[in-house]
Amino acid sequence: MRRFLGFRDFDWPLLGMVMLLCTISVLEIYSATMHTKYSGFHTKQMLWICGGVVAMFIFAKIDYHKLIDLVPWAYGVCLIALVAVKLVGTKVLGARRWIKVGPMHFQPSEWVKLILILAVARYFANLGGRRLSWRDIFKAFVMVGIPMVLVLIQPDMGTTLTYVPILVAGLFLGGINLRQALILMTCCVVLVAGAWTSGKVLKPYQKARLTSFVNPDNDPKGAGYQIRQSLIAVGSGGVWGKGAEKGTQTQGDFLPIPHADFIFAAFGEEHGFVGSLFVLLLYFFILMRLIQNAQTAADLSGSLIIMGVVAVLTFQIAVNVGMVIGFMPVTGIPLPLMSYGGSSVLFTFLALGAAMNVRMRRFVN
């Protein structure tokens, strides 16, 4: 007998924490952009959030098994979209990452993350939990590697890196053994070293951004500028912060793109250590809630979907916050639910919708 499925099974506490984070985002975007050319972006962010919430509820109602069945078609469409970006995409700051659709700019690489989460879940679930062979692992690498290469040539190294945790989560939950993992890690180190020294994979400015965080004072007006201004902003916030709309680094336009990649630095300057800690705890509780839902999923594919979402969000949070405090290189990875950006907001809400989808069907047979 099929149990009646309704939104009473929805994870309302999780949604409450997400909306609290979105509220903080809108207020900080308003504060960080009020005296800049980006003034008014908080209104656009509110519209993206409203659209994301609607999309999340719709996505949560569609049985995730049906979504998994459509993955091969969706994967093909995503590859076509990534090729189209390179051919007819809008070029901004030397990179083609967007396709202009009317007044809006659509970034296919953000949506690929969601398709890859579903594709990896489908692939490893179909293996039935058996021991992974090298052939299985190779197929998984190819499936994730093709979109990675297409995004890397845009070039968009930041988004390319966000695909990696999806594959890692799939391999870990899919049953990779320690010996295979060690061999793969060794191969990855060799490939990265080769890519770094070849001079053909990474452009000089990308290498500069990846190394500037080690000692930003070596090039304070160039590659190290963003890190230096971010560190000054975070440090000047102290324990309690300078207060909303009173951050000198943010309001003085020293902090680059404070409403997007460096929104956590702007927030830290205005709300200090206490405010920053509150946001990080909010992220922690959201991730823990998602992991709890993965543990109660009805099947392996459901668990893989939620853990894929957790892997991507954790990676983005760690890299963005690490970048802001000088522990990670500047890669242009947005802070989920905080940074301004339509494609990023919609992806996050759709990913949460997929997680809600699994939770709502944990008792359905």
pLDDT given for residue 169 in this prediction: 92
Residue 190 within any structural domain of the chain: yes
The H or E element containing residue 16 is helix 12-33
> Any bridge partners for residue 100, and if so which?
105
Residue 94 in this model has a pLDDT that exceeds 70: no
Q: Determine the pLDDT at residue 93.
A: 55
Does a structural domain hold residue 210?
A: yes
Give the number of domains in the chain: 1
Confidence of residue 49 (pLDDT cuts 50, 70, 90): very high
Q: What CA–CA distance (Å, rounded) separates 65 from 305?
A: 11
Question: Ranked by mean pLDDT, which of 88-92, 122-126, 208-212 comes out on top?
Answer: 122-126
* 2 pLDDT more than 50: no
Residue 250 has pLDDT above 90, yes or no: no
Alpha carbon dihedral 149, 150, 156, 161, in 10-degree steps, equals -40
Tens of pLDDT, residues 253-272? 777 888 888 899 989 999 98
Residue 146 lies in a domain: no
pLDDT attached to residue 128? 76
The pLDDT of residue 174: 86
Q: How many CA atoms lie within 13 A of 91 on its CB side?
A: 5
Mean pLDDT of 106-128: 88
- Long-range contact pairs involving 241-249 (C-beta distance under 8 Å, separation at least 24): 241/268, 241/269, 241/270, 241/271, 241/272, 241/274, 241/275, 242/269, 242/270, 242/272, 243/270, 244/27, 244/31, 244/270, 244/271, 245/31, 245/34, 245/270, 246/270, 247/31, 247/32
The answer to whether residue 351 is domain-embedded is: yes
- Edge to edge, what strands does the sheet with 90-92 contain? 90-92, 95-101, 104-106
Structural tokens at position 200: 């053909």
In this model, does residue 14 exceed pLDDT 90? yes
Is 151 in contact with 109 (CB distance < 8 Å)?
A: yes
Q: Would residue 70 count as lying in a domain? A: no
Average pLDDT over residues 32-40: 80
pLDDT at 200: 63
Q: What is the pTM of this model?
A: 0.89
pLDDT of 142 higher than 50: yes
pLDDT tens, position by position, 182-240: 999 998 888 877 776 766 666 666 666 666 666 666 666 666 777 888 888 888 888 88
In a domain, 98, yes or no: no
Instruction: Say if residues 283 and 348 touch (Cβ distance below 8 Å).
Output: no
pLDDT of 72 strictly over 70: yes
Token pair 């490939």 is at which residue?
191
The pLDDT value given to residue 1: 35
202 belongs to a structural domain: yes
Q: Residue 46 is part of which domain span?
A: 7-63+154-360
User: What are 346's two structure tokens?
Assistant: 């919609």
Residue 327's pLDDT is 82
**Nearest to residue 227, comparing CAs of 338, 337, 331?**
331
> Could you read off the pLDDT of 296-347 as tens digits, one per residue?
888 889 999 999 999 999 999 999 999 888 888 877 788 999 998 888 899 9
> Which DSSP string do the residues of 304-363 spell out, in sequence order?
HHHHHHHHHHHHHHHHHHHHHTTSS----PPPTTTS--HHHHHHHHHHHHHHHHHHHTTT
pLDDT at 86 over 90: no
Cα separation, 49 vs 362, whole angstroms: 27
- Assess whether pLDDT exceeds 60 at residue 3: no
The answer to the question of residue 128 being in a domain is no
In degrees and rounded to multiples of 5, residue 97 shows phi and psi of -125, -10
